[in-house]
Amino acid sequence: MKKVIVRRHHPNHPWIFSNEIIKAEDPSPGEVVRVEEGKKVVGSGFYNPHSLICVRLFADKEEDFSKNLVFERIKQAYNKRKDLGESFRLVYSESDGLPGLIIDKYNDYLVIEVNCLGMDKRKELVVQALIELFNPAGIYEKSDENLRKLEGLEIVNKKVYGEIPELIEIEQDGIRFLVDIINGQKTGFFFDQRENRRKITEIARGEILDCFCYTGGFSLYTASKGNVLGIDSSESALELAKRNAALNNLKIDFELMDVFKALRKFYNEDRRFDTIILDPPSFTKSKKKKADALRGYKEINLMAMKLLNKDGVLFTSSCSYHISDEEFLFTLRDSAKDAKADFIIIHKGTQAKDHPVLLNFPESNYLKAYFLQKV
């Protein structure tokens, strides 16, 4: 195995950046390398000299990326999640010892998303392990993240095994959802908000506004607690949201609206709400665009805070991993100041358990969520 020597490595962090490397024995892109710091072996990982993240470690000793390793890691990941039902994030990359690999399970169907070159070269091993372990009805690859460009990879959106129906029905906490893995966003459904959906359902009441509702995740959960209006700018997502509501015999209004414009419109119309949910997309995929993203968060939070009735509850989240918890909190405080309102933090949420956060890998902790009550 070729050697890569590093200056200093943060213990247990799975990434080696290009500026941390002193010398490499000329491995080819995607090759598995042994990383050493002084005389000590740090571990083994995928090498990509064209990426800022030059090595992605998957083991803390010299070890090949074998079929057995893939099989065991996926099995362990499954065992940690099997009490979540039939549909969940099965593998969450580095947090499950499989760098650059995401696998979502939708009943008998699996969707894989590959975000680094080393894993891309070995996805056949992953598919084989999945077939042996789960005997799935179908496996689909949805590798369409911009992150792939940074690794020199093309976008992939295709069936890799078995059959994939147009829509797959899944169940979350007794609620039925149709998922479109082929044309939907990301792999089709946002499992990461599962626990936050449960929590807001306990608190929601009255007039409920679900902003960025996609296929109705939060709307369907909270529908038993009040009158829900879900808004989103994607026509196809809203079509599915309507079908999802009908599937569960729920009466929910969905409207095609840009959230930024809608919040202003409601304000001008004197329309007010008792519960507002803000689950926007990641406003930035890069550090450079952080200021724009913070402005976006400020605007929607400020408007939502103004639109809330007294004692009303705001659920607000950020899935941009370049925005820290402190920066998000600062934005919320700033928004409250401009809205001339005060709030109590009644709960702090994060990503669901099937997206585990590694203590020494802060990058795995991306979802920040606050449940605020207007006082």
Active site residues: 319
Q: What is the Cα–Cα distance from 273 to 258, expressed in whole angstroms?
A: 18
Cβ contact 170:107 at 8 Å: yes
Pick 29 or 281: Cβ nearer ligand SAM: 281
Q: Is 29 helix (H, G, I), strand (E, B) or coil?
A: coil
| Contact set for ligand SAM, span 70-129 (CB under 6 A) | none
The site for ligand SAM, by CB under 6 A, has a size of 19
Q: Could you tell me how many helices (H) and strands (E) the chain has, helices first?
A: 10, 20
Q: How far is the CB of 355 from ligand SAM (least distance, A)?
A: 13
Closest CA relative to residue 321, chosen from 354, 353, 361: 361
Determine phi and psi for 91, rounding to 5 degrees. Answer: -130, 130
Annotate each residue in 280-319 with x if it binds ligand SAM (CB under 6 A) or - if it does not, as one string.
Answer: xx--------------------------------------
Q: Which of 213, 229, 252, 276 binds ligand SAM (CB under 6 A)?
A: 213
34 token code pair: 């042994």
Q: Which of 51, 193, 275, 284 binds ligand SAM (CB under 6 A)?
A: 193
Cβ contact 352:191 at 8 Å: yes
Pick 65 or 191: Cβ nearer ligand SAM: 191
Closest CA relative to residue 315, chosen from 350, 288, 279: 279
Pick 15 or 218: Cβ nearer ligand SAM: 218
Pick 46 or 214: Cβ nearer ligand SAM: 214
**Residues forming beta bridges with residue 318, ordered by sequence position:** 368
Q: How far is the CB of 236 from ligand SAM (least distance, A)?
A: 9
Q: How far is the CB of 23 from ligand SAM (least distance, A)?
A: 42
Pick 218 or 273: Cβ nearer ligand SAM: 218
| Contact set for ligand SAM, span 224-263 (CB under 6 A) | 232-234, 237, 258-260
**Alpha-helix runs per DSSP H in the chain:** 67-81, 117-121, 123-134, 147-150, 194-203, 217-222, 235-247, 259-268, 290-307, 325-338
Position closest to ligand SAM via CB: 217
Q: How far is the CB of 319 from ligand SAM (least distance, A)?
A: 6
Pick 194 or 374: Cβ nearer ligand SAM: 194
Q: Looking at the chain, how many residues does it have? A: 375
224 token code pair: 């038993």
Q: How far is the CB of 45 from ligand SAM (least distance, A)?
A: 30
Q: Which of 47, 214, 266, 343 binds ligand SAM (CB under 6 A)?
A: 214
Burial class (CB in 10 A: 0-12, 13-18, 19+), 225: middle
Q: How far is the CB of 228 from ligand SAM (least distance, A)?
A: 12
25 token code pair: 């024995």
Interacting residues with ligand SAM (CB under 6 A): 185, 190, 193, 212-215, 217-218, 232-234, 237, 258-260, 279-281
